[in-house]
Amino acid sequence: MREDSFYQEDQEEMDFPAGYPAYLREVGPAEETYGTLSYNRRGKCWVIKGEPCVTELAKRLFPGCAGKGRGVARFTAHRRIIGDLNWLMLRYPLEIKESDREKWEEALQDARAYAVRRAQSLRAPARVTPPETAFRGQLMPFQQQGLAFLLNNPRALLADEMGLGKTVQALSLVAATGGYPVLLVCPPHLIRNWQREAQRFLSPEGGLRVHVLRGLTPYELPEADFYIVHYLLLRGWKQALPKAGFRTVIFDEIQELRHAGTEKYSAASLISDACDRVVGLSGTPIYNNGGEIWNVINILDFHFLGDWESFTREWCYGYNSAIVAKPDLLGEHLRREGMMLRRTKQQVLSELPPKRRLVQEIDWDDELYRQLMIPVIQRARTLKEVDDASRRAILEDQISQEERQATGIAKAPYVSAFVRTLLDGGESVLLFAHHHKVMDLYKKELKAYRPAFITGRENEKQKDEALNRFMSGRTNLCVISLRSASGLNLQRASCVVFGELDWSPAVHSQAEDRAHRIGQADSLLCYYLVSPRGSDQDMQEALGLKVSQFIQLMGDETPDEEKQWMAQSSAREHVRRLVERLTEGGDG
């Protein structure tokens, strides 16, 4: 809405106040032409063959223009670059090949529509809210700005820093446009979270239907509104998905496509070409070098930055060099042209609460969990025959601990993948867990980040060294036992991640406080990573994590005896229900 009414992008009135810009007006009949213009379908470019005075000028003036040999100049067939070519033809008329005249008229109309849309975006409302009937949720002011940007730019990259709600902004776009069916492409460990968030926020007429694609072999897709596939499956669905009729595609963590030449990349490119709206989400679109952004932008809008040869020649240190000479200038160009929007936490800090808690459901290894639960099931059956209260209490505690450990182990690879994303985005992370076996898996999975460990197994010297390594910036990851965090001051952390949960809300609050202090001029992001099964489900209930994505109460008050008793009571009730399920033949 334009603050008070919904903004429709597809308006019939799409003109500039005084018509089209001068460089896009029609090229009239000319007494003299300076060469020919033809379309190369294989190279997706327009080719000038003409007098050297024209082709040499084209190559000097336009970074997107290339061409080997005298008298040849090549323009990428992108609607933004077509304007450059038309401007040149106003001064040096060219004879358009008859078989390509209709193609040229289409290209020119597309370029004009693009120019109109860019001008419109400057006059469009700065903030937009989606219709309440289609979207369940409220956007913060900067997220309303993000929605306005995405509405004005159908092919764009939302590059907000981690934790600023790229997911909810993308979903609000779907609600605002009604752009169903939607295809969501994401890393494997984020599938469950997207499924949950889509069902939570989107409410099209008739209710949201979600389908998650399975396997590399294509099958007939069922009727749905929201389809989810992970990047590793794209190669198998390369031919099928572009023909499926998706109106919107969202590439989450689009840096997964920063390397061209793979079947995954090729499939993503074909899907993008077939969709009306293409959105890329990433807080870290560029990893090793600036040239990777060319691959990412190419997925969103083919040859927006010209072909690889001209891009490297003009933006990088030399032909085929992937190092961008002036990254800040390239970033400004992408923002100015409506291709990228990026906000950092510091820029929107005044709109953020001091502490943000987000519950994120991640995937897990179901088969591994079942194997780990075999001895737990046997122990649960033994418990039925124990009458001694003391012995029963010991067995109940063992059952609870072993089930929690099985849950932690089954989701550990996916927790590690999530933390890896944070670290690659430049965050400094405190990763909390409970069981040593789980922390050992983190150590193996995250070895490349040289994590520090404070787990209760270290002596004082080792603990101090781990603390110093993290606080001095020699590592951006510190793995800590939930029950070993008291007294530590780790304010350097920008994110807290709970890979495992505790029954007591106070334990989590105290762990968060290792990174958050009163008076701290920052907004701490706390992720609670939960699995779809196992102990996490009942623990979520006990902690209040199912109430909202942004939890309001999570043990912020000093725990008293009553709260401690309630936590213990929740744990005992969970064991009682677990034993009943296990002895009835279930696996928890």
pLDDT in tens, 436-474: 999 999 999 999 999 999 988 888 888 889 989 999 999
Cα–Cα distance measured from residue 96 to residue 47, given in angstroms and rounded to the nearest whole number: 10
Q: What is the pLDDT of residue 100?
A: 92
Residue range 192-215: average pLDDT? 91
- Note whether 157 and 280 are within 8 A (CB): yes
Q: Above 70 in pLDDT, residue 549? A: no
Q: What is the pLDDT of residue 578?
A: 62
Residue 326 tokens read as: 């002036």
150 versus 81: the higher-pLDDT residue is 150
Residue range 273-286: average pLDDT? 89
Residue 302 tokens read as: 């083919």
Q: Above 50 in pLDDT, residue 558? A: no
Please list the residues that pair with 38 across neighbouring strands: 47
Q: Above 90 in pLDDT, residue 250? A: yes
Q: How many CB atoms lie within 10 A of CB 234?
A: 24
Q: What is the pLDDT of residue 556?
A: 41
- End-to-end Cα spacing for the chain: 46
Q: What is the pLDDT of residue 456?
A: 83
Task: Give the C-alpha distances (Å, rounded to integers) separating 424 from 7, 243, 289, 439, 581.
Answer: 36, 34, 13, 20, 41
* Whole-number percent of the chain with pLDDT over 90: 40
Q: Which positions ≥6 away from 308 have C-beta within 8 Å?
A: 294, 320
Q: Which 8-state DSSP code applies to residue 190?
A: G
Closest CA to 228 of 244, 247, 213: 213
Picking from 95-109, 389-403, 532-546, which range would have the lowest pLDDT averaged per residue? 532-546
Q: What is the pLDDT of residue 570?
A: 58
Residue range 313-341: average pLDDT? 86
Q: Over the stretch 467-481, which tens digit does the pLDDT of each residue have? A: 899 999 999 999 999
Assign 5 a pLDDT band (cuts: 50, 70, 90).
Answer: very low
Question: pTM above the 0.85 mark?
Answer: no
544 versus 346: the higher-pLDDT residue is 346
Q: Above 90 in pLDDT, residue 288? A: no
Q: What is the pLDDT of residue 254?
A: 94
Residue range 107-131: average pLDDT? 82
Q: Of all residues in the chain, what percent are helix, strand and coil, respectively (each to 5)?
A: 45, 15, 40
Please list the residues that pair with 39 across neighbouring strands: 46
Q: Which positions ≥6 away from 349 have C-beta within 8 Å?
A: 521, 522, 523
Q: What is the pLDDT of residue 272?
A: 95
Phi then psi dihedrals of residue 228, to 5 deg:
-125, 130
Cα–Cα distance measured from residue 406 to residue 395, given in angstroms and rounded to the nearest whole number: 16
- Note whether 362 and 193 are within 8 A (CB): yes
Q: Above 70 in pLDDT, residue 361? A: yes
Q: What is the pLDDT of residue 486?
A: 62
Assign 581 a pLDDT band (cuts: 50, 70, 90).
Answer: low
Q: What is the pLDDT of residue 545?
A: 60
- N residues, the chain: 588
Average pLDDT, the chain: 83
Cα–Cα distance measured from residue 108 to residue 78, given in angstroms and rounded to the nearest whole number: 10
Q: Over the stretch 58-78, which tens digit does the pLDDT of each residue have? A: 888 876 677 777 889 888 888
Picking from 8-17, 339-348, 384-393, 504-513, which range would have the lowest pLDDT averaged per residue? 8-17
Q: How many CB atoms lie within 10 A of CB 106?
A: 10
Q: Above 90 in pLDDT, residue 409? A: yes
Cα–Cα distance measured from residue 227 to residue 209, given in angstroms and rounded to the nearest whole number: 9
Picking from 321-335, 377-391, 401-415, which range would have the lowest pLDDT averaged per residue? 377-391
Picking from 369-378, 403-412, 464-473, 549-558, which range would have the lowest pLDDT averaged per residue? 549-558
SS3 65: strand
Residue 100 tokens read as: 């390509």
Q: Which positions ≥6 away from 496 have C-beta within 8 Å?
A: 429, 430, 432, 511, 512, 514, 515, 524, 525, 526, 527
Cα–Cα distance measured from residue 474 to residue 451, given in angstroms and rounded to the nearest whole number: 9
* Whole-number percent of the chain with pLDDT over 70: 85
Q: Above 50 in pLDDT, residue 550? A: no
Of the segments 33-37, 246-250, 293-297, 390-394, which one has the largest average pLDDT value? 246-250
Q: What is the pLDDT of residue 582?
A: 60
Assign 548 a pLDDT band (cuts: 50, 70, 90).
Answer: very low
Cis peptide before 218, with omega less than 30 degrees from 0?
no
Residue 264 tokens read as: 């995954």
Q: Above 80 in pLDDT, residue 220? A: yes
- Note whether 111 and 83 are within 8 A (CB): yes
Angle between helices 436-445 and 389-424 (to 10 degrees): 20
Cα–Cα distance measured from residue 263 to residue 234, given in angstroms and rounded to the nearest whole number: 8
Q: Above 80 in pLDDT, residue 6? A: no
Assign 240 a pLDDT band (cuts: 50, 70, 90).
Answer: very high
Angle between helices 101-123 and 141-152 (to 10 degrees): 160
